[in-house]
Structure 1
């Protein structure tokens, strides 16, 4: 059941815990369909001296090896790509090359596509270049932003002795990160100071990395299991409210299930197995928030939407930690709790303060966004505050069974299985989507929440029908503009062939895709005056010819 892993890597080529050993540990994780993240900042930069003489070839040379390995080992033995996160501290000597890695590789891809190679992400152009099998993130402390604000230089430091190898204007480096993220969606940014100020177990070390989608952030060589609740299943369509009692019950139940699953998991190394038992981190989350907001007629980018999202998350997390404390009463706190007790209770109190939208917090550099009472439905606000009152009160008495209890995963795959219209906390980016499948073909996904949303926004039946047909399509050529039953008949199609087209167009990615010999048969195309040389040529378009 464990889906998220964070592994460490040491500045060693072939020893245990070193670079080549990491590829073996990653391979075990990829083989069974899970994802892994690692902070590579321990590895010395290009030009740093080696103990046996000579200088290091640098971090980037090894990242390219790991990238190839991940590309070769398809996740879970399927055509799905391996899920891999590469994190790097912003003071690493090769940070600029890392930031621009994918930018430069995309230029090569563009040249290969211009030369005639396939442009899809499984095609020869992307397979030829490096850096395509991981998400990349830069770890940034608050001290960098202080330099940025003052217009000062940022120091890049050697891994071996800490000496300054180069100085870069902080603004220039920040602009490179921003441009690269705009150009090719990488690297992401992880705010190291804030992350570690919310760390429940700093006595075990610093949080240095995350899993591939960054929902799980904890110590190196730890793992997290995931479960997500479909929020729309708790939604009352008659009065546009959430069943808080039912949601709390599910959160309590699944926190218990995830705790049990710690005993059932398999791990890629002894270190991960040991720390998983000592910290017992869990990953309860939810999906379909965007649908709940949509059917309620609430804009996603609004104060009310943020208040609802915050309160639902607070209820889930508060109930999860309350349940964890209840389990600790019976089974004992996680083994590393006592040494981290002061830190964890401080983090729990800060969560409770955020539920009450307090003015001050304990040990935080940046004030978090609390729940805004003026925008949050009263029943959700009260439930959120009570959940955190209980979580803190019970935790102070009994401790907690789990060092972490919740994450919000992207739910890109399980969201489909749960029939969610939206994934994780995200809005719907299109009412009709075509998911390109790695094994070939497309899946048409139509948002089923639009009719209810339009009703709650006050549209009448005629208006709703017109809007839905405009957005989704009618799914038939009957009465359609330009290409319809009449114009098809005039072109020579008979009734049975038109029926085939109507059936095929319901799930078609693009209208031209249904006009082919495989859907209509050779008899039809020959009657229309076309030859096998034409209709078996994939570059030829029947629709254009008609």
Structure 2
């Protein structure tokens, strides 16, 4: 590892993951392997050795909370993120939810929240006669809480706020971050329904509604599914707006300050493996795990650069056997996290034990493609990426089936209903048959996270499925005292190529950066992998500051038409801070990586 890479590796390890008297990263790996093997009923020593084998050399990177907490005496959770329970539309309910969020963040978990249950601004509260201030006003309280709880140290709190596209305060939500410093600890995403997309495309009027039970008197109502309700409820129509006009406001806000993102919420629910018992309205802070109330994300990523054989040569190839074996062991390790972890709230523990959701993903895809001589977004690169994700997905499902035979299926498993899920029906027949016969250990298995910090730990490999940001760039990282430290970094694949070729200048075949890629290329890669991801994918589409608004307006439509579950756009702007910058150009970072919400 070259000196700058060694510097940032040591900084990340020492400030975020090192425990007590650990002297090397291997000591940390041993701690993690021992703690997660300890829950094995048979041969824990053997499983400890296997877990250590995939952790060494950075082949498998557990989520940051696993690395920081497993095998320690710290009162922390091993889950990176949670979606909180419904926020009851009352002062006691709001502050109960705030307290639950504070406890969760104090123990290390990021949180996602759906604010759609809060009545719109200006509504007369039934009975009390007071006037509601609306969900955005209460988001300020969460933002302040997060800033207080996570005000020092090398981590910052991460939160996702969502709101329905038919909530009467949707326009205020869209504009909530137009001023610097406002809600900086939140990512914002709109729950976009199929009905809204149809209304946009037909240029129809769009009703903004809220459950009628909170209102006195009569008024026009329509049936709507609404969070916190088991079935559709009558909702009062408060006003109507042109759907296309609302859509344009969303797109203008995205252009001006890169938020809000969109969640295609009907698609998320249609493709949910637990469609028969869950209604999802929120995600973890970076969007790769849509979760029900009190759901948790248990994450880890396979470092694809470790599976490239004979890199930068005509014989370069992926070791699919090694990838399969590592994925199998990683699934078992992540399943054990559920039993080894503490939980901030009993409701979170119950959901995790009963669904046993995990999220095995990838990192270093773009670097692996360069090592193979492929250009990100080319037909060959997409074909290879599909083969990789298919391999990981099918290996994960077969492992989970074997675990069910050994340890039992997840308690929420209902065989016939589970097998009816669209994602399950897309799996090979032998996997479907095996689930029918033997059950399955985990309700969900695959997610592609942004892997911002754990990728730095492994030598600055490219994050998740994102393209390479730049050949070299500046990166801000928080230190233990809470202040930012600057590092000058070189891309992993480029450094490896220079080391192996002896060249100090030039670029390897296939080397391309995010700013050189078209929007369609970004979407094509995400769309190619989505069929093999039962949770979701965290992906930021970067566009330059001079990107035309008229073209940006097409991105969410492309994402919707390509079957994606969600989409985030980042255009450099004066409001969003930067963690990454490319030389003097000052290229800003994707919004999910700003300093206040840095993923780990």
What TM-score, normalized to structure 2?
0.64
More off after superposition, 391-400 vs 135-144: 391-400
CA–CA distance in 2 between the matches of 1:263 and 1:510? 45
Cα offset, 1:454, TM superposition:
8.6
Mapped partners of 2:496, 2:141: distance in 1: 50
Report the 3-state secondary structure (helix = DSSP H, G, I; strand = E; otherwise coil) of the residue aligned with 2:116: coil
SS in 2 for 1:200: coil
2:506 is aligned to 467
Aligned to 1:136: 188
Q: CA deviation at 1:405?
A: 1.0
- 1:42 maps to 117
Aligned with residue 309 of structure 2, among 222, 236, 239: 236
Tell me, in whole angstroms, the C-alpha distance in 2 between the residues paired with 1:139 and 1:94. Answer: 13
The aligned residue for residue 449 of structure 1 is 493
Q: Look up the match of 2:391.
A: 315
Correspondence 1:133-532 to 2 at 5 A = 133-161=185-213, 162-237=235-310, 238=313, 239-338=315-414, 341-352=416-427, 388-438=428-478, 439-450=483-494, 465-467=504-506
Query: SS in structure 1 opposite 2:376?
Result: coil
Q: Does 1:99 align with 2:174?
A: yes
Shift in alpha-carbon separation, 1:435–1:390, aligned structure 2, 3 A: farther
Aligned equivalents of 2:334 and 2:143: distance in 1? 31
1:86 aligns with 2:161: yes
Structure 1 residue runs without a partner (length 5+): 110-125, 353-387, 472-507, 512-546
- Taking only aligned residues, the RMSD between alpha carbons, in angstroms, comes to 2.5
Are the aligned partners of 2:450 and 2:463 in contact in 1 as well (CA < 8 Å)?
yes
5+ residue gaps, structure 2: 1-77, 214-234, 512-580, 585-600
Q: Is the CA contact 2:308–2:317 (under 8 Å) kept in the aligned structure 1? A: yes
Report the 3-state secondary structure (helix = DSSP H, G, I; strand = E; otherwise coil) of the residue aligned with 1:426: coil
Higher CA-based Rg = 1
Deviation at 1:298, TM superposition (A): 1.5
Closer, same or farther: CA 26–291 of 1 in aligned 2, 3 Å: same
Do the aligned residues in 1 keep the contact of 2:286 with 2:449 (CA within 8 Å)? Answer: yes
Structure with greater contact order relative to length (CA < 8 Å, sep ≥ 6): 2
What is the deviation of 1:402? Answer: 0.8
Kindly indicate whether the alpha-carbon contact (under 8 Å) linking 2:305 and 2:367 is maintained by their aligned counterparts in 1: yes
1:11 is the counterpart of 2:93:
no
Displacement, 1:190?
A: 0.4
Call closer, same or farther: CA 1:235–1:151 in 2, change over 3 Å: same
**How many angstroms apart in 1 are the aligned matches of 2:342 and 2:433?**
34
1:341 and 1:317 map into 2 onto residues whose CA distance is 21
- Helix, strand or coil: the match of 2:426? helix
Are 2:95 and 1:20 aligned? yes
Q: 1:27-66 alignment to 2 at 5 Å?
A: 27-51=102-126, 52-66=128-142
Deviation at 1:336, TM superposition (A): 1.0
TM-aligned CA distance change 1:311 to 1:50, over 3 Å: same
Q: Give the 3 Å change call, closer, same or farther, for CA 275–451 of structure 1 in structure 2.
A: closer
Provide TM-score, normalisation by structure 1.
0.70
